[in-house]
Structures are given as C-alpha cells and as structure tokens.
Chain A
Amino acid sequence: MNTRNLLVGPFNRVEGDLEIRLEVEEGKVTSAYANSPMYRGFEPMMLGKAPIDALTITPRICGICSISQSSAAAAALGSAAGLAPAPQGALVAAIMHGIENVCDHLTHFNLFFCADFARPAYAGRDWHDRAVTRFTAMEGSAVRSCIEARAQLLHIVGLLGGKWPHTLAIQPGGVTRAPTVRDRIRMSSTLAAFRRYLETVLFGAPVEAFAALSTAEAITGWSRGDAGLFMEIASDLRLSETGQGPGRYLSFGAYPLPEGRSFGPGVWENGTLSPMDTDRIREDLSHAWMLGDDAHPRQGQTTPDEDMRDPAYSWCKAPRMAGQTMETGAFARQVVDGHPAALDLAVDGSNVLARVAGRLLEVARTQMMMEEWVAQIRPEASFMDDVPVPREGQGEGLVEAARGSLGHWIRIEAGKIASYQIIAPTTWNFSPRDAHGTPGPVEAALVGAEVGAEEDTPLSVQHIVRSFDPCMVCTVH
C-alpha cells in the first residue's frame, strides 16, 4: 500500500494562517485535517467593555472583511436595542458592504485563486501562456488591473466611511455621514467606471448578460473576458469534479434593507429551502483546543485549552446547523437566493468551479444592485436614528460577508458586555471534526483529491482549499 502523510502549509495567498494535514493513499487524499493555527482572543477581550466598543474592536478581526464585521456588530447592538437603523442609513451601509464584498471577490479571483494556473506544472496546456500573462502572482496584467480597479471602487467607501479598511461609519442607528448630492454623483461615476472594468476585463460583456445566465451550461461555456479564460481552464482541468461540498448551503441573507434582504436568507438542501432558524446552531468543541461544553453562541464561551490536548487539532470551533455541516459563501448565497444558474450548478453539488462561478455571478448582480442603491439615496433624509444600547439585553447580528454567513451574538449586563461570540464564514467551511467524527466541509471536500507522487503541496489541494476563499483571521478570532 502506497500511503503517506503530508503537511500542507503555511498556505500563502489565503487570508491568514492555515495548515492542512493530509493522509494520502494510492495517489488520493483519504482524509484531511484543517488546522487554524492563529488565535487572538477577541471574544474574551470584549468582556466587561462598553457594548459600543464592539463597533471599533471587532472589525479589527479582519482587514479584508472589516465592513462585514462592523455591520454584524452594529446589527447585534441594534437587535439588542430592538430597533432598526434609519432606512437611508441602511442603504448607505449596504453600498459600503456591497463594495467590500465585490472587492473581496475580485481579490480572490485575480490575486489568490487564478495565480495557481500560472504555475510551471501546467506548462504546455493550451491556456498556460495566457494564464501566465494574466495571472502570475504580483505581476500578471489581470492582477495589476484588478488592484487598480478595486482601489478606484473603494473611493466610495472612503467617501462614505472615511477610510477603508477599518471603517468606523456604520452604527446601530445608521451611518455617520449623510451623503450630499455631489457625493451621489461622484459615486455614480465611480460605479460607472467600475462597470467599464467589469465589462471590458472580467466579463467581456455587459454585466446584465452575465447575471442573466440561467443554466450551468451557459456559465461554464462563457468564453469572454478573464471569466471566459477561467471557464476554459476549469473545463480542461475538470474543476467541476473536484472539491465536492456537503450539498447543504447556508445564507443569513445579504444587505438588510427595509424591504428585506437583497439576497434572501435560508438553508438549502436537496432542492428544498428552509427558513433561517439560528436557534439550531451549536458550536461543537470536541476537536478544537477550547474548553467547555458545546453551546449555542448565545451561551458560548471561548477558553483556550493551553495544553492543546488530543484529539483536538485546531483553534477553530465546529459550528453545526441542526447537527450538520454547512457550506457558506457566494455560491451558497446564490443557491439560497434561487439564482437559476446557481441552482442548475447545484444539481451536481458544489465544487471548485461552482464556487468561483458563484462569485462571478455575484459580482455582476451586486454591481447592478449598487447602481440602484446609489440612485435611491435621498440626501435630505435622516441617515441615523437614535438607537440607544440597552443596559441589559441580548442581540444577534447576522450578515453575509464575501465568504459567507457571519454572526455576532452579544449579551449585555449592567451596561457592559457579558458575552460576545462570533461565528465567521470560514469557521463553518474550515471547521474541524465534530463529536461524531464528521469532518468539516473543506476536510470532506479534500477527500479524493489527486496527489502526484512527486507533489508535496498538491495542486489539486491548492485549488480546492482556495476555492472556498478562506479567511483564516476571521475563522478563529
């Protein structure tokens, strides 16, 4: 029997630190163990602090999805107060959040994910020269134009939020800045410029055309722009056959606006969409270096096991919905929202290609939504309602970060934070095993991945891991 163990990591081109242990037999992964090796202790350090300080501290969990963290903290405080933000404030917060999510998808596609196709191991493939030109890490032409386009788009967050990363403007009652008519015009023109980038570089066609694709075949057959180059590569490398997800998709729903969430919430499995019931969440600690009992995040605690005892192998807790693993992220969000092409792709389950396709779909759809949101801004309206944080109470803040469902749970006693728990998207996707020994989604997705006899850092593993766009600094916080 040709058996070996591999330790893959540290992973570069993912956000934060990650190490994966693989057991390989006959050239295929038979089991995988995902270790999140960085712990900072944000949850314990929130205890005893003023509740509103969550708005400043929790975004610093992550410099890439800080608006997501900030929105979740504001939503948790608002939920504790039982009040909603001013409608126009929610609109501005949605614009900022949408921009961050789109930027994250672009970073993932251009900087983190596609760079692997430029590797020498793929030399000789029809597409390799083009992949090298476009996607070589730090040097490819797509990398540079992406960085430039993102920076321009983030002007809007600069304008509305003062700075990015670590924007401070989002509050439980709305946002601190009331945009002027001039700001609105400026945002429209920035969005128009960004649309040009998407349409000339990424999609090679109007965003509406890409967003309107309604079948898996139409998506995988897309031939224009960098999206087309990816689909060509994906088809050649059969990326739709690797990295199978659990087939259960979780989304809290993105962009809470007075008329509802723009991408709807729910749990999708086998063609059935169930409403979101966060009471069914438990965090399992059996394989995490954490002490305490399994608990709902309202009762959860974060006490690291400094002895790092077996069988635990990660700082990451294992969240489960009704006892089951869940995949979350752009593809899950598009499936839950019922986009026809995503639903069609989901017939074969999630995989490396589907996850990237989900992001591309979402970039196109979000661009269209953001243009509408900007047009709806009414400078004369109120952008912040008074939302006093109660001295006693508890709240739940649910948002969708680029990488999936993000929840903050806060309990306030005597005006101070008595409990603060966070479940981040990658906590779901990169969770370790639970008490039943069920592997987390990425661990399961890696089983069956091909490993060449000479490979120490198998390419298939790189593709699968990066297809989830892990954010390890959010995972364990």
Chain B
Amino acid sequence: MPLTGVTLARRELALADIETFYDVMRSQGITRRSFMKYCSLTASALGLGPAFVPQIAHAMETKPRTPVIWVHGLECTCCSESFIRSAHPLAKDVVLSMISLDYDDTLMAAAGHAAEAAMMETIEKYKGQYILAVEGNPPLNEDGMFCISGGKPFVEKLKMAAKDAKAVISWGACASYGCVQAAKPNPTQATPVHKVITDKPIIKVPGCPPIAEVMTGVITYMLTFDRMPELDRQGRPAMFYGQRIHDKCYRRPHFDAGQFVEEWDDDGARKGYCLYKMGCKGPTTYNACSTIRWNEGVSFPIQSGHGCIGCSEDGFWDQGTFYDRVTDLTQFGVEANADQIGFAAAGVVGAGVAAHAAVSALKSAQNKAQKKPTPTNEEA
C-alpha cells in the first residue's frame, strides 16, 4: 500500500524500533507461501479482490505492526471467545501474532501490578499510535463502582487508555450500544463507549458477540490500510453491516413464498421454512451472519432453527420479548431508513477503496464519520 512521503517519514521516525507485521509472522514460523495465502484470504474477506493482494503483502512487509491494547469493562468475554476462533487457522495465528495484544487482561502472561504496568508502558511507548480495543462498557452509576479494575472504576482506565490511542474499536453490543446489562432499568447505568470517549474515531463492531471473521477482518483492514474502514451511519463497518440478515438468508425464498414455521419442530421447521413467525429479527438486523456464518462458517442461528434476535442492533434487548414477531417492534419504521442506510453504505465502500491513498486516511475517515448525521436509532 503506497503511503505518502510525509506519512511514511513520520512513521519511520516514530516506529523505527517496531518490527513489521511480516517480521512478526516470520518469527512465528509462518512460511512465505502461507503468508501470501493469508494476504489473498484477507483481500477476499474484505471484499477487495485479487488486485489488492500484492498491496496487502507490501504493506505487511514494510509497515511496523500496530500495537493493540485490549481492555474489558462490564462484559462477559464472549467477544474474546469469538475472536480466538477465527476461520482460517493461519488467519487467526497471523492476526494474533500481528496485533500481539500488547495488553490483554484475559490472555496475557503478566499478573496484577505487573499487568497494569505493562499497559502503562505500552501507552507511553506507542503514544498516539496504538489501537484501543474495548470489550464491554463502563457503568457510570455510583461513580463507576460497579466495575472496579485495579482499585479504580473501569471508566477511568478506559479514559486513560483512550487518551493517547489512535482509534478505538468498540467490540460487541456492550461497547457499541450497552447490550443486556443496559436493559431496563439498567441497574448500573452501563454506558456505551462512544458516550464516554468523544474525541477519538470510534468504530463499532456490534453483535453479541461479533462474528470472529468480522473482528479479524476489521482489525486487519485497519492494520493494512492504516485507516478505519468506511462506516455506516451508526458507525459500523459497512463492509460487514451493509446488508440485512434477511437479504442474504437462505430461508428467504420461503418468506417470499409465505411458508413459515408455525411452532417448534413442526413440519415447516423440518423443511427449513422461514422463522419470521417465530420472532426472527432478520428483516431488521444488519449483520453478516447469513453470509459469513458462525464457528468457521458452519452455521448461524437461523440455520439452527431459531430466529435471529437482532443482537447487532441498538436496543435489541429492550424490544419486548425476543419471540414476538417483528411487527411488534416499536421501531418497525426503521425498515425504510434501513434500506436508505444500505444504499448509502454500498456507495461509500466503493468510493473508499478508490480513494484511500489520500493523506492520513484515518483522519479523513474520522472527519467523514463526524459529518454524517446522527444514527437513526438514537432519534427513535
């Protein structure tokens, strides 16, 4: 990926002592052949086509790896669980070694104060260059005392770690929207990250949890192109959240034909009919479950005979029971807006791919995000 002279010089000065992605991979014993395979896998996962393979390879050979700090607030660790099960074994290995999770409190070796010190060291060393990945969210009630990490409310740790970050990734529904712990009456006032961190580019990767390949795809994109992927109006990467589950659902023909499962394990269920009447939220949910699928592409909830619960949408936890039909959703009107968002997002992806040789693309993505209107769900 050609960087402009200015950007490159700055990075070389600042990051001269950090090895490149390719160095890191080599030290993990990954062969050149596997490396090239990984590059093409990445290109296709990102929807970029074979022409981009050499560019990805070049970027990985020449660019210093990006340090990542991964912190956990109010959460259940399902995002980490999902992340470590990414599809291609090599992809997972490469991404794990590539981002080197300089600080991750679930997986790292150090403990206690040493662990906290490691985080401070990473922040100091890579000031302004690291990506902060946040799993979970801060509870703000009672001065944040419902989530204490290292003797301090998590919200303080979050703010401190975000201060010198280049960008923030909000993993999952918790960090992006609040998720179930924010369900009425939201006992701890669990608050999504973007309400607390307001001065950094934030990319939301919602889902409970997000699909592993979406997580590795987002992170690889950011590392490879040194910028955020194009976001939809809710701040989600359009390449993965640009279409509804319903649009690509393999049961869609049954919906169109009016063939529905009426009750669990009935004849329609055995025939794989549409789950709309069982409360499926696929028609209003933007995510890649019906294309990328889960657990290394094996299946996804609808394929297991259970409707989608819409876990990548804001407020999915407070829409009445999960088994109500979508017509009962208070925000069914979102469908019209949702289609518009879909069109907008598709346009932006194309434009983004063509234009990413610009100055600091990360910055321009940030500007774009800021110019976009506020997310529709917050208006609702």
Binding site for B on A (CB under 8 A): 7-13, 15-17, 19, 37-42, 44-45, 49-50, 52-53, 55-57, 60-64, 66, 86, 111, 115, 118-119, 136-138, 144, 147-148, 150-151, 154-155, 157-169, 171, 173-178, 304, 306, 308, 315, 382-384, 386, 456-457, 462, 473
Bound Cα distance A53, B101 (Å): 36
Chain B residues, CB < 8 A from A111: 107
Total A-B Cβ pairs within 8 A: 230
Could you tell me the distance in whole angstroms from the C-beta of A137 to the nearest C-beta in chain B? 3
Query: Knowing A42-B181, A163-B301 touch, does A10 contact B269 (C-beta < 8 A)?
Result: no
What are 24 inter-chain pairs, A to B, with CB distance below 8 A?
Answer: A7-B151, A12-B106, A12-B110, A13-B107, A13-B111, A17-B148, A38-B147, A40-B146, A41-B181, A60-B76, A60-B180, A63-B80, A137-B109, A138-B107, A158-B294, A159-B299, A162-B302, A162-B303, A163-B301, A168-B306, A177-B304, A304-B146, A386-B264, A456-B113
Chain A residues, CB < 8 A from B333: none
Chain A residues, CB < 8 A from B263: 386
Chain A residues, CB < 8 A from B104: 12, 138
Partner of A52, one of B208, B305, B322: B322
Chain B residues, CB < 8 A from A148: 89
Q: Who on chain A is nearest to B85 by CB?
A: A151
Query: Knowing A138-B101, A162-B303, A308-B145 touch, does A9 contact B150 (C-beta < 8 A)?
Result: yes
Could you tell me the distance in whole angstroms from the C-beta of B110 to the nearest C-beta in chain A? 7
- Which segment, of B56-64, B185-193, B229-237, faces chain A? B185-193
**Number of chain B residues whose Cβ lies closer than 8 Å to a Cβ of chain A:** 77
Does residue B108 face the partner (Cβ distance < 8 Å to A)?
yes
Question: Which B residues, 65 to 101, have Cβ-Cβ distances below 8 Å to chain A?
Answer: 72, 74-82, 84-85, 89, 92-93, 96, 101
Query: Knowing A158-B296, A158-B299 touch, does A384 contact B77 (C-beta < 8 A)?
Result: no
Which among A50, A56, A64, A175 has the highest number of chain B CB atoms within 10 Å? A56
Bound Cα distance A456, B115 (Å): 12
Does residue B105 face the partner (Cβ distance < 8 Å to A)?
yes
Are B264 and A63 in contact, with the CB atoms below 8 A?
Answer: no
Are A12 and B111 in contact, with the CB atoms below 8 A?
Answer: yes
User: 8 other contacts beyond A12-B107, A163-B300, with CB at 8 A cut-off?
Assistant: A10-B150, A19-B148, A38-B147, A38-B148, A41-B187, A154-B85, A163-B294, A176-B306
Chain B residues, CB < 8 A from A50: 320-321, 323
Does residue B215 face the partner (Cβ distance < 8 Å to A)?
no
Partner of B112, one of A17, A173, A176, A457: A457
Q: Who on chain B is nearest to A381 by CB?
A: B265
Bound Cα distance A297, B78 (Å): 27
Partner of A17, one of B149, B180, B265, B321: B149
Chain B residues, CB < 8 A from A159: 295, 298-299, 304
Does residue B222 face the partner (Cβ distance < 8 Å to A)?
no
Bound Cα distance A382, B112 (Å): 51
